[in-house]
A and B are shown apart, each in its own frame.
Chain A
Amino acid sequence: MMVRIGVFICHCGHNIASAVDVEEVVEYAKTLPWVAHAGHNLYSCSEEGLGSIKRSITENKLDRVVVAACTPRTHEPLFRRACEQAGINKYLFEFVNIREHCSWIHAKEPKEATEKAKKLVAMGVAKAALLKPQTESEAGVIPTAVVIGGGISGLVAAASLVEQGIETHLVEQTDRLGGLLCDITTIGPEGRHARTLVKDVVQKLEASPKTHIHRKARVSDVKGFIGSFEVTIEGCDGPTKVPAGAIIVATGTREFAPTGEYGFGEHPQVITQLELERKLAMGEKPKRVVFITCVGSRQPGREYCSRVCCNVTLKNALALSKASPDSRIRVIHRDIMSSGSAAEKLYKETSDSGVRFLRYGLERPPEVVSDGDRVNVIVYDETLDEVVSLDADLVVLAVPMLPPDDSEVTGKLLKVPRDKFGFFLEAHVKLRPVEFATDGVFICGSARWPVNARECIWQGMAAAAKASIPIKEGKVVIQAITAEVDPEKCAACGNCVLACPYEAIEIVDQDGNRAAKVNEAQCKGCGTCVAACHNDAVSQKGFTSGQLGAMIDALVKASLEGSR
């Protein structure tokens, strides 16, 4: 069979091209064996980029495609689909990662990055030449979902699932549903009543016979894959094993405790925003209040903006300002982040209502001093260029949201990643915003990143919509990466049978020839058996010893050329 490989190097705008000399890599790729065409795209994943790859497949009669761009973990399906559309079996596509594994991590070494990119492309081409077309098989999906977390995101996600007729288990670690919304009065900027919102969703949820709510419960174990998970829910009456097709993570957030900052924990007058919400709910109307924003956020160690706190500050400042005509409400801020027309309107209304705004900088933060009953906030106002002393009944600190304490445990259970702050990481910011890279596991709400109630609701609905796809579809496609046995080579020694973590292999007698046989539906494509076989009788589709061996050969060859 003739092999005609097309190689496409992606600039990814500046992401790759700023460190890797893309044109040089293209020229190098042209010199590699089997390469019939090499080109480059500004953004290979764009409509235009994909179009040009497809055109090139036809024009250059390509039968294999190598794209050197970002990570196969997010973009492989996109390019495989493009190959398929252009008439090439999608398993004749090979991905080379020159962004995450090259340009981004060697940003200051363009020459070295370019040389490395060449070697990686050579390895990819060597593997591509040996790829074989494959056909995919299918597996069933258990028509049940598990939602972890009974805050507003999880509630909405669960409600949305049962609305579609999907059996749904909601796991909440406390005995109340609604999460942080139970602790607050109204939701800004429109001022909707928080508990009414929770009540509406819970009622809807409880009305459905498809709903199973587990209060005071937690997920203690997760086994399996998309379509056939087994989730162990540890509740009051011991563990329950729930078979499920999809899992939604909605474990929410918690408030940062700013112990030691601005006298928090020392003076009872210094409280957090959430504590103020509880006071407001009790009907308290403090008159002289100083709000300080960005306490514990947007600074070294916790660089992120928690996004929600400015609007909450504005909402509460306005409410207090309106509550009593003689109130003196002051907001000490670094910036006011209140984007969107409703929030901007709220900001304007708050300023107009007499709330005073003072701006501080990180280099001269305000100070809280106490004289017993009263506290004074001493702040250098950047706009006035003078030090101002504000007396207050209450100092309210707008602190950031943190990931929940057990997010590490949850992450490990579900095998999903977290960022350096401990928030969960979605599969792709833009392409797969409510999915994890692990198939069948979805994410919504502030467990991912601090979001407001409205965004929680959107995300809950989005995650439910995504999770319902495999369940409604009733089947998932099994990637053609399963193991296969060459009975001619097999000595039936049973090494693979012992090594398989899924008991997916058995020795069978076929016309007098004893050989191993892989049960494809049970095989998950780990390749453990492959390494157990001494005779290369077992191989994994798309990861054969010939293909990986060729990659090693290519690296050795390219390094030899590079060193001369």
Chain B
Amino acid sequence: MNDLGRRLARIAFDERGADILLMMAENQGNVGPVIISKGQDPGDARIDVPYQLVAILTNLLPFIGKAKVAILCRRCDEKALIELAKRGIVDDASMVRIGLACSKEQIQACRCSDCVPSKVDIGEAAEPCPEDALAIELGSMTIEQRAAFWMRQFRKCNKCFGCTLNCPVCFCDDCVLEERTYTPKEGIPPELAFHLIRSFHLADKCVECGECERSCPVDIPLLTLRKMVNRDMKNMFDYGSGDAEKKSPLLTTLDDQPLEDDGHAC
């Protein structure tokens, strides 16, 4: 175990009383997620490889039982946990978050504008990245150009479901997109509806971790699409995912959360 590993273990077990710790470690040349109890040596801890630990956590929940889990948390992971807690998927109270500040390179890669966890335990807070250049470019295009761009991208999709499987806030056991109800066509690429429906499902919970984009084997800029829809949600409802106080505006009444613009008919 390296120094970083020892530090994580100390924070998790000694300082914050966790029973188990979910982290990234390198073992015999492979970097992957590991769960350790106090005293276990998983190999060298690593934080330089982005990995969706929250998605791993939700998959493991049935096996974890009542154990108090410590998890290495970037700002986006923290927000994902909040979104999951809002929906009763995880119990926020039984969770120990170890705040990880992302590196400058990481932030650039994610075009991340909200990159500092509420408490930084590991790493150093760096400047956020204000804009997604591609989103801006797409916004300035004509609608035909934008359609041409996305249709070209979506045509590459081979329906591997990497984007859904690795998404921290996709919590359904089976995805409706695997069925033929909305996307009846056989084979690949899937219909446009595939990406539209996913965009809608994530509209009130995407935390912009970028895992969908990283998971995509054909490099569809999915994070940019997520960011565009999130900006819409911000503009329409002043809503941003990862706020424990805010219910999804798509589920509440207009009295609870009105539409920012007129919106009564469009």
Residues of A near any B CB (own CB < 8 A)? 489, 491-495, 498-499, 501, 507, 514, 532, 534-537, 545-546, 549, 553
The minimal Cβ–Cβ distance linking B203 to chain A, given in whole angstroms, is 10
User: What is the CA–CA distance of A21 and B158 in the complex, to the nearest angstrom?
Assistant: 46
**Contact between chains at B87 and A495 (CB < 8 Å):** yes
The minimal Cβ–Cβ distance linking B6 to chain A, given in whole angstroms, is 37
Which 6 A-B residue pairings sit nearest by Cβ, starting from the closest? A493-B87, A498-B251, A535-B172, A499-B251, A534-B201, A549-B181
B residues less than 8 Å from A545 (CB atoms): 181-182
**Contact between chains at A489 and B173 (CB < 8 Å):** yes
- Give a binary string over B185-209; 1 marks a CB under 8 Å from any A CB, 0 the rest: 0000000000000000100000000
User: What is the CA–CA distance of A501 and B247 in the complex, to the nearest angstrom?
Assistant: 15
Find B252's partner among A494, A498, A507, A553 (CB 8 Å cutoff): A498
**Contact between chains at A514 and B88 (CB < 8 Å):** yes
- Across the two chains, which residue of chain A brings its CB closest to B87? A493
**Contact between chains at A493 and B88 (CB < 8 Å):** yes
Find A536's partner among B89, B173, B176 (CB 8 Å cutoff): B176
**Contact between chains at A507 and B174 (CB < 8 Å):** no
**Contact between chains at A549 and B88 (CB < 8 Å):** no
Q: Does B106 have its Cβ within 8 Å of any Cβ on chain A?
A: no
Question: Interface of chain B, helix or strand or loop or mixed?
Answer: loop
The minimal Cβ–Cβ distance linking A365 to chain B, given in whole angstroms, is 43
The minimal Cβ–Cβ distance linking B66 to chain A, given in whole angstroms, is 13
**Contact between chains at B174 and A532 (CB < 8 Å):** no
14 contacts between A and B (CB under 8 A): A491-B87, A491-B173, A492-B89, A493-B88, A498-B252, A514-B88, A532-B250, A534-B201, A535-B174, A536-B176, A536-B181, A537-B172, A545-B181, A549-B182
**Contact between chains at B88 and A492 (CB < 8 Å):** yes
The minimal Cβ–Cβ distance linking A488 to chain B, given in whole angstroms, is 8
Q: Does B32 have its Cβ within 8 Å of any Cβ on chain A?
A: no
User: What is the CA–CA distance of A506 and B182 in the complex, to the nearest angstrom?
Assistant: 27
Chain B interface bracket (under 10, 10 to 19, 20 to 34, 35 or more): 20 to 34
**Contact between chains at B251 and A534 (CB < 8 Å):** no
B residues less than 8 Å from A514 (CB atoms): 88
- Give a binary string over B165-182; 1 marks a CB under 8 Å from any A CB, 0 the rest: 000000111111001011
User: What is the CA–CA distance of A153 and B89 in the complex, to the nearest angstrom?
Assistant: 58
Among B181, B201, B248, B253, residue most surrounded by chain A Cβ atoms (within 10 Å):
B181
B residues less than 8 Å from A495 (CB atoms): 87, 248, 251
A residues less than 8 Å from B172 (CB atoms): 489, 491, 534-535, 537
The minimal Cβ–Cβ distance linking B202 to chain A, given in whole angstroms, is 9
User: What is the CA–CA distance of A553 and B181 in the complex, to the nearest angstrom?
Assistant: 10
**Contact between chains at B248 and A498 (CB < 8 Å):** yes
The minimal Cβ–Cβ distance linking B97 to chain A, given in whole angstroms, is 21
Q: Does B123 have its Cβ within 8 Å of any Cβ on chain A?
A: no
B residues less than 8 Å from A537 (CB atoms): 172
**Contact between chains at B184 and A553 (CB < 8 Å):** yes
User: What is the CA–CA distance of A397 and B181 in the complex, to the nearest angstrom?
Assistant: 65
User: What is the CA–CA distance of A272 and B227 in the complex, to the nearest angstrom?
Assistant: 69
**Contact between chains at A489 and B251 (CB < 8 Å):** no
Residues of B near any A CB (own CB < 8 A)? 87-89, 171-176, 179, 181-182, 184, 201, 247-248, 250-253
**Contact between chains at B89 and A491 (CB < 8 Å):** yes
**Contact between chains at A494 and B247 (CB < 8 Å):** no
User: What is the CA–CA distance of A351 and B87 in the complex, to the nearest angstrom?
Assistant: 82
User: What is the CA–CA distance of A532 and B252 in the complex, to the nearest angstrom?
Assistant: 10
**Contact between chains at A534 and B181 (CB < 8 Å):** no
User: What is the CA–CA distance of A507 and B173 in the complex, to the nearest angstrom?
Assistant: 17
Find A546's partner among B89, B181, B247, B252 (CB 8 Å cutoff): B181
The minimal Cβ–Cβ distance linking B157 to chain A, given in whole angstroms, is 19
**Contact between chains at B250 and A489 (CB < 8 Å):** no
**Contact between chains at B182 and A493 (CB < 8 Å):** no
B residues less than 8 Å from A536 (CB atoms): 176, 179, 181
User: What is the CA–CA distance of A27 and B201 in the complex, to the nearest angstrom?
Assistant: 42
The minimal Cβ–Cβ distance linking A48 to chain B, given in whole angstroms, is 40
Once A495-B251, A534-B201 are accepted as A-B contacts, the answer to whether A489 and B174 lie under 8 Å apart by CB is yes
B residues less than 8 Å from A492 (CB atoms): 87-89
The minimal Cβ–Cβ distance linking B32 to chain A, given in whole angstroms, is 26
A residues less than 8 Å from B184 (CB atoms): 549, 553
A residues less than 8 Å from B182 (CB atoms): 545, 549
**Contact between chains at B88 and A534 (CB < 8 Å):** no
Among A489, A507, A532, A534, residue most surrounded by chain B Cβ atoms (within 10 Å):
A534
**Contact between chains at A491 and B171 (CB < 8 Å):** yes
Find B171's partner among A493, A499, A501, A507 (CB 8 Å cutoff): A493
- Across the two chains, which residue of chain B brings its CB closest to A547? B181
The minimal Cβ–Cβ distance linking B240 to chain A, given in whole angstroms, is 18
- Across the two chains, which residue of chain A brings its CB closest to B174? A489
A residues less than 8 Å from B252 (CB atoms): 498
A residues less than 8 Å from B174 (CB atoms): 489, 535
User: What is the CA–CA distance of A54 and B125 in the complex, to the nearest angstrom?
Assistant: 76
B residues less than 8 Å from A489 (CB atoms): 172-174
User: What is the CA–CA distance of A244 and B171 in the complex, to the nearest angstrom?
Assistant: 44
B residues less than 8 Å from A535 (CB atoms): 172-176
User: What is the CA–CA distance of A310 and B252 in the complex, to the nearest angstrom?
Assistant: 56
Once A489-B172, A549-B182 are accepted as A-B contacts, the answer to whether A494 and B248 lie under 8 Å apart by CB is no
User: What is the CA–CA distance of A498 and B251 in the complex, to the nearest angstrom?
Assistant: 6
**Contact between chains at B181 and A493 (CB < 8 Å):** no
The minimal Cβ–Cβ distance linking B250 to chain A, given in whole angstroms, is 7
A residues less than 8 Å from B173 (CB atoms): 489, 491, 535
B residues less than 8 Å from A493 (CB atoms): 87-89, 171
User: What is the CA–CA distance of A514 and B175 in the complex, to the nearest angstrom?
Assistant: 18
